[in-house]
A and B are shown apart, each in its own frame.
Chain A
Amino acid sequence: MTPLRYFLFCLKLHFRQRREVALPLFFFLMVSSLFPLTFSSQHLPVIAPVTLWISALLAILLSLNNLFREDVEDGFLIQLLLSPAPLSILIAVKLLAHGLAYLLPLFATLPVFALWYNYPWDSFSILALSLALGTPTLLILGAVAAALAAGLKQSGMLLMLITLPLTTPILLFGLSMAEMASNGLPWAAPCDFLLAMAVVSVSVGPWVVASSLKLGVS
């Protein structure tokens, strides 16, 4: 099992399981669509960043519910643990494939919401950038919790309880970045924080996830 072959394997598997892959996206679309139906149009640009960020966070957590559980149940996790390739590299590859399968479609729908929420286009690009910088960190924080809860039954709620408090700073900085941009204020500081968190989580995250999985198995 080489990392490249495993990456292609994961992508192929996501394609075959496209119905399951589509569920978090539909969840994101439904939650984000409820607010324009219930709020008056003048409030929509104000609530757009909060709505999209929280919907994205919950959709990511929903997608992570099954990240390792299936591998535990079908015995595939043992093959990952015993593979000659380092587990952290295989985990990085798995998370990359997961991100491509779940996050790319989510980003593709964002322009629709810019129109629906009457959100100004110049600020919308900053909101999209904040999501692009923040979601990898959300994904990796959730993956650590998913790894810790992999062997447990009913792990979905535990995943939420572990991950939600950890994601609060990302959420706050993401929202402040979008809000500063829409008010014409400099937004570089929260952007730098999100970028730094993304770099740290992408470089250290797979190793932490791998260690959590080994801990869970032993």
Chain B
Amino acid sequence: MAKQYITAEKLAHGYGDAPLFSGLSFRLPAGHILQLMGKNGSGKTTLLHLLAGLKHPREGSISRDEETSLLYIGHQNALKLDLSPLENLLLYQPVANVCKKSLEALGLKPALHHQPCYTLSAGQQRKVALSRLMISDARVWIVDEPFTALDDSARARIIFCLEEHARQGGCAIVATHDSLDIAEPLLKRMSLS
């Protein structure tokens, strides 16, 4: 039986008196990608925060192997705009060549690697944030709206990267409105209404 990285039981959460979701139960085994769908305000980001342990659910429980490393890439890019893409990535991966390769894989030209991030476009900044997927050794990836402002080739590269991660026994939860072109055995879908 595949290792269960995350197990959620009867989750309920909301803000004020308005519930976002309730009775939500699911498991995320190794080798799977869970696509989280739903309208704006349906609680996708909140659910991701709960799964990452940034918030506590009102009801229910989440069990996650504390030993398992986790990578979270949220709405915001978590980049320091005064530093270059390379300097931002070196915080997480000390080998500069590995960082450069991951940036190039997403289409960020070497000339841009040393420029301050504030000189990059929104799409390029998103690429820098997402290039962390390629340098991370975390088994669980939580990614919120990865394809915002991305071009088609970078989008395809990210999908390939997610697929490879699942094939190598990792798992990922991706909140996105876009369709993920990933084969069914690897992909599960869940919709929040």
Contacts and interface: CB of A to CB of B under 8 A. Distances in A.
Contacts of A218: 54-56
Contacts of B74: 75, 78
Given A17-B82, A75-B74, A78-B54, A12 B92 contact: no
Given A79-B78, A81-B54, A5 B94 contact: yes
A76 B78 contact: yes
Contacts of A74: 76-81
Contacts of A172: none
A155 B33 CA distance: 40
Given A1-B92, A218-B54, A218-B56, A12 B83 contact: yes
A6 interface: yes
- Size category of the binding interface on chain A: 10 to 19
B88 to A, nearest CB: 9
A79 B55 CA distance: 14
Contacts of B69: 84
A16 B116 contact: yes
A75 B126 CA distance: 13
A46 interface: no
B52 interface: yes
Interface residues of B, number: 24
A217 B74 CA distance: 15
A121 interface: no
Nearest to B70: A82
A9 B79 CA distance: 12
Nearest to A13: B80
A75 B83 contact: no
Which interface residue of A74, A75, A76, A84 has the most chain B CB atoms within 10 A? A75
Interface in B42-88: 52-56, 69-70, 72, 74-83, 87
Contacts of A6: 91
Which interface residue of B54, B77, B79, B91 has the most chain A CB atoms within 10 A? B91
B163 to A, nearest CB: 24
B68 to A, nearest CB: 11
Contacts of A217: 54-55
A217 B53 CA distance: 11
Interface string A12-26: 110011000000000
Interface in B113-149: 116
Contacts of B56: 218
A16 B91 contact: no
B81 to A, nearest CB: 8
Given A16-B82, A74-B80, A79-B72, A1 B116 contact: no
Which interface residue of B69, B77, B78, B116 has the most chain A CB atoms within 10 A? B78
Contact of B90 (A5, A76, A79, A84): A5
Contacts of A73: 76
Contact of B91 (A1, A17, A75, A82): A1
A6 B80 CA distance: 12
Nearest to A82: B72
**Interchain residue pairs A-B with the least CB separation, the first 5:** A75-B76, A16-B82, A75-B78, A76-B78, A9-B91
Interface of B: 52-56, 69-70, 72, 74-83, 87, 90-92, 94, 116
